[in-house]
Chains A and B, each alone.
Chain A
């Protein structure tokens, strides 16, 4: 992979206190939403993070954009420590990292016109005069395929796909280098999903953007990613190129996840061998000792409960955290 590293995370952790209140003087429980994630993102590439609900992928997205503060670890953006930066520095650094949210209905202020919403980051950062801002918003609307006549319309007048385009336009307003997209297409219909994915790919090519792409839909990810990280209970269990992760998944969880995805091809469906996991994802309040996947793993052995597997490189950056990888 080419390009310099634009975003790096070192041993990021986010623990949310939960359970008993302070009044009762009981020790509070802790949800280990993200527990020791390190990753790096190169310019012009896409890193996709996949996993099921509760695996910590959205928390990770928020940590990377510093929408929430990590419990431990750090994020480095363009070589500058984003985590320890002062509020003033953070505001400035936000120009380089922007977020596209999942729900296009919730992420736009219903009382602001679309044009106003798209221009908000510019007004907050005071990078342009009002006239320039308007010109820039027109430019952005064209860029994402919205008609400029719609500048004064309100979010409820748009369809889900158009709203997501507006959300993307707003994220692009400050010409960021990195975009963190948290499930940007999961709320959209399939025919619209493809439109938005194509738009994201086109923008990446034109503007040399880097994406952190959070998704639960494995087929979407395959299309857009240069590197895929699979998360389970707050940790990355496997990471590598899509060729490696999809072609030769080595972690038993990745294998089960891949085989569980229904394929829209009746012939392939009957040929495939499906691994059906038993049980549910354990609670992140009290994750299993050792390997966190061991309670559902078909290959579990004694060592799995006592020793936590580390991410080990199996060649060409394909790293797997399992005692018995394939």
Chain B
């Protein structure tokens, strides 16, 4: 009866949800939507006093290939925090990754994980075969990837079960995992098998293990499976996790074991947090699956909860209608306590995301809370369901989701107001100065140079630094999608994204898979454009560099002219007549090499237009017109009239007017002068 209640309520208020794909225990209804190549039964006990996590994992792994596999690859992610010589620590140190650094770690802050045993069903312990691997670099000190060799291979399409036991020291909060005070977040916390990629998956020609080390700027890659977890913590701790809560057992030693289950997800994360405030809600919408929502917020930021839930619902609604109905029955939204937002907020795991909390959120809609919530919930599609390889093709998650975030925010009419970023107590002062209304897509960097350092598709640890990785993967990835949308039109693009989501849900798409879907839906080959956008470094900055008009007499300007075959005769300037002409020149330059078509539209004073097309590859063009004066003067020249491609690095030079525009020039010059005066006065106060 209890399970019918939500449906009855929904019916009473006139909402008809879609039938669920998973039951109230997180088990799929009907055929399994994923191949469940790696499934886990997890048991873990957390001792906050000793910062120790001990557990077992019964892994059931299926060899999806046609080749027997004797060696299995695993991640031991927490060893990234073991010392300063791990690949993670080295990269964070060298490349200045703010929330990933172990630089400030003291003696008790380091964390690690240690595999104690790995037993086959017959009791054979293969732990002695453990061998540390470094597939990405020669760092022998790194212990984030290991292999186990079995006595006999797992046959093609066969299955093996391994009972893994491990002990871990929980690190001080870092890179979205660890402990801070009474708050603990557990991500990538158990020995996790790598992905055996099987042809034609992501273009591999033979079964290949894809199991990268933990890098400072990278996220993860995993197979789908079922997860069943029993998590034991002190009674005072509030616990929530991936999937659906299936039970709660009080233990005689003052601990509680929390049970969770979810089928067809790629990972399992959880939090144990003493003092968290739990706020429950339900998402219901016509034709979409019902999703139970749980927000965990700190007590002093309880005011954040309603907005977090509202933003999550908006995303579920938009994503459900535009991309794919969100299939899972439960979603946990963790807003970390003050002091833990930058190091643990803003991370996605299946059906479990971390966000931000603000003690004084701006009402009615705080853009910081909304943006991070929309973004992290959006990952539920672009990583949770379409489980791309975030080590090698991070844009398929972050870039696509950055695009998706902007779509949702635009759909609910929310724009960036930088004044909202000001701290309480300063808002009264800064609000008039920072008030703004900027679309999310426009706060993303397009870069300054029309040539980039790296292609979008690149292993994340091979970018110059974290800033370049972020700009490229998030911003340019999203820009690439919008450029394809600009090329094919919004309706076709919407169909592309929906088809891509439907076709690749519960699988592992690659960049080529996306481009194949895009080409198929658009009805033309978008691979060359996609390759240029995603695998090249060419950018785009189309600019109207010059626009000038000259009034000339009908026969031309002054000078020596032949007359009736005789000697040249001087003819003076004779402007001012009714039949004078306007000779105008427009210079358009293409500073970038991205092969996109360019239309240039000239608007004449009499309201007429002239449009010229510049094919890809032509670097510049000068357009000259001569028409009757004054109506024939070109008053406006526009590159990409209407809407330019998103990747145009300088939008402002896409248009140039004949008449000066003193308003923006004086606004900027006046503000610069005023700022310099304030700076001088501030320094002068000390003199």
- A-B complex is real: no
Interfacial residues, chain B to chain A (CB-CB below 8 A): none
Chain A positions within 8 Å of B, measured between CB atoms, are: none
